[in-house]
Amino acid sequence: MGYMEEFKFWLEDDYFDADTKKELLAIQNDTAEIEERFYKELEFGTGGLRGIIGAGTNRMNLYTVRKATQGLANYILKQGTQAKGVAIAYDSRRMSPEFADEAALCLAANGIKAYVFETLRPTPELSFALRTLGCTAGIVVTASHNPPEYNGYKVYWEDGAQVTAPRDVDIITEVQAIKDYHTVKTMDKAAAVEAGLYQVIGKEIDDAYMVELKKQIIHPDVIKEMADDIKIVYTPLCGTGNVPVRRILSELGFKHVYVVPEQENPDPNFTTLDYPNPEDPKAFTYAINLAKEKDADIVLATDPDADRLGVYCKDTKTGEYVSFTGNMSGMLIAEYILRERKATGTMPVNPAMITTIVTTNMTFPITESYGVKLIEVLTGFKFIGEQIKLFEQTGSNNYVFGLEESYGCLAGTHARDKDAIVAVMCLCEVAAFCKKQGKTLWDMMLEMYEKYGYFKETQYTITLKGIDGSKQIAEIMNKLRENPPKAFGDLKVLKFRDYENDVVIDMETGEKTTTGLPKSNVLYFELPDNNWCCARPSGTEPKIKFYMGVKGDSVADAQAKVEKLTEDLKAVL
């Protein structure tokens, strides 16, 4: 069926409601808009769905969510695990509660019990909840840090991590097999509740989650001693983090926590934000103003579904607030956990830290320093969660920390996804520990640079929207794959890794080896002296991302090197 035929089907068939048809009637003379909405189905990728909210096959709406859930239900029924049920959480975005209910009622119509949070909750708490409840799967309705016009739908499996191969492909196959919307099941909510197939969850899971978070604290005595001295400014960026972050910091004893009032409450329009992303300095505008007013030590921001954490810290020497990348804040927490676990004799046997191939190379000297095994996985926290599961199954190692460059990390194994709530808690403990020694987080970061090297990372992103965008992204990747550059400026490419074709090529000898990781559309260029560059299309946005890392002799030297590498990359492209 072509896009115009699909448009007419949605406009005329009784399956679709009046509001949907009204929205489509408004664009009936706009052929380009009709094509954009109907030229394909919103792709159910390895992480689930993500797209612009609206009517159409290429949009997030009740019908695409219901269809995706029917595919998941079909998979669960084939696994024979339907009796375990599915946990569902959602964030503060437009249509999030409606999409969560739509998913729940589709599952219920298939005889699968849905456990639905009473109100919005962070993504990591969903990961915790489904494991606590013994569910076979979980769903989070969120578009993470995307602009307000987006929403999304992520699928988790019983281990608490997002689905990985081969399960992800099998679920995608089930979703794609549904060709007729009329075969997708749903039922009345009251009937689902009456049948015991729709259960509301809340406080009991919240309480258990808090108990697990507190187990990660290493020095509660230090927090108690410094709780009245440290000042914390926090913004949930109009998302899900406000209640759990305030609760955990209050229960730990921190007395001066100031929440940005303009961004305290859930706001699906993100009125005070251009982009609800803690990686964006503009997202901190209100928080920095409040920090200056309160003379805060640290400034923290969690994204709308509270799995990513952004950080600023006051540099007492200049009086300015310094921004920390996800690599930097992750390294601060990692150093603290590894150092203090070793010092207190609480480091487990066979300890391991897990990171991704695009995370800072500072992970190598840190883990080496403390005798901790370092395991690298593909980009995406689900691969870190997968390793935790393997540790439990084999007993090979004990997980101590995991992080990725995109402002996500996890201390503990209560969840199997990045958790900004536990990250806030850990970082506040680190800040208290530093304050007791008369230091700031920035002072600690500088000490780490002196100890391990001045590692610096950055990203260069090309956004290509619309029908032609995906083709252009594919062309860029094909060009780099088929004719890999021999150098970036004066930096020779030592080795070229093509994860899609599972090959590592020594550019000097031509020798070929395997990557040792699953297939993925990622290209990695190893350069001399801890320099590197990696190309990867985004799995959730119409972008191709280039990650880069360098090692310098000082903060300024590292900055100059990473700027030069960025320019050299642009020249190659």
pLDDT tens digits along 54-85: 999 999 999 999 999 999 999 999 999 999 99
* C-alpha distances in Å from residue 318, one per residue of 30, 314, 441, 455, 553: 55, 8, 14, 22, 22
* Structural domain boundaries enclosing 133: 40-208
How many domains is the chain partitioned into structurally? 2
Interstrand relation of 491-492 and 487-488 (parallel, antiparallel or unpaired): antiparallel
Query: Average pLDDT, whole number, for the chain?
Result: 96
Give me the pLDDT at residue 467, please.
Answer: 67
Give me the pLDDT at residue 294, please.
Answer: 97
Four-residue CA torsion sign, 308, 126, 128, 371: negative
The rounded distance, in Å, linking the Cα atoms of 94 and 390 is 37
What CATH number is given to the structural domain containing 499? 3.30.310.50
Above 70 in pLDDT, residue 456? yes
Percent of the chain beyond pLDDT 70?
99
Cβ(313)–Cβ(295) below 8 Å: no
Sheet with 523-526, side-by-side order of all strands = 454-463, 543-552, 532-537, 523-526, 495-498, 503-506, 512-513
Average pLDDT for residues 472-486, to the nearest whole number?
Answer: 94
Strand partners, 512: 505
Interstrand relation of 298-302 and 309-314 (parallel, antiparallel or unpaired): antiparallel
Strand partners, 124: none
Residue whose C-alpha is closest to residue 141's, from 160, 161, 121, 159: 121
pLDDT tens figures, 226-259: 999 999 999 999 999 999 999 999 999 999 999 9
Above 90 in pLDDT, residue 46? no
Tally of CB atoms within 10 A around 490: 8
Domain end, chosen from 181, 208, 235, is at 208
Any domain includes 274: no
Average pLDDT for residues 527-537, to the nearest whole number?
Answer: 96
Any domain includes 365: no
Give me the pLDDT at residue 559, please.
Answer: 97
Any domain includes 156: yes
Above 90 in pLDDT, residue 318? yes
Any domain includes 120: yes
Above 80 in pLDDT, residue 47? no
Any domain includes 334: no
Any domain includes 308: no
What CATH number is given to the structural domain containing 112? 3.40.120.10
pLDDT tens figures, 394-437: 999 999 999 999 999 999 999 999 999 999 999 999 999 999 99
Any domain includes 232: no
Structure tokens at 78: 């084939």
Angle between helices 242-252 and 203-214 (to 10 degrees): 50
Give me the pLDDT at residue 540, please.
Answer: 63
How many distinct helices (H) and strands (E) make up the chain?
A: 19, 24
The amino acid at 498: D
Q: Could you give the residue numbers annotated as active site? A: 144
pTM summary value = 0.95
DSSP state of 371: T
Interstrand relation of 256-259 and 231-235 (parallel, antiparallel or unpaired): parallel
Q: Which helix (H) or strand (E) holds 206?
A: helix 203-214
Alpha helices in 453-527 (DSSP H): 469-482
pLDDT band for position 45 (50/70/90)? confident
Any domain includes 545: yes
Residue whose C-alpha is closest to residue 126's, from 79, 167, 102, 162: 162
What is the residue-wise DSSP string for 1-37?
--HHHHHHHHHH-TTS-HHHHHHHHTTTT-HHHHHHH
pLDDT tens figures, 150-198: 999 999 999 999 999 899 999 999 999 999 999 999 999 999 999 999 9
Domain end, chosen from 208, 224, 249, is at 208
Structure tokens at 492: 């020779």
pLDDT tens figures, 334-347: 999 999 999 999 99
Give me the pLDDT at residue 226, please.
Answer: 97
Above 80 in pLDDT, residue 539? no
Strand partners, 547: 459, 534
* C-alpha distances in Å from residue 248, one per residue of 207, 212, 423: 10, 11, 11
Domain end, chosen from 172, 190, 208, is at 208
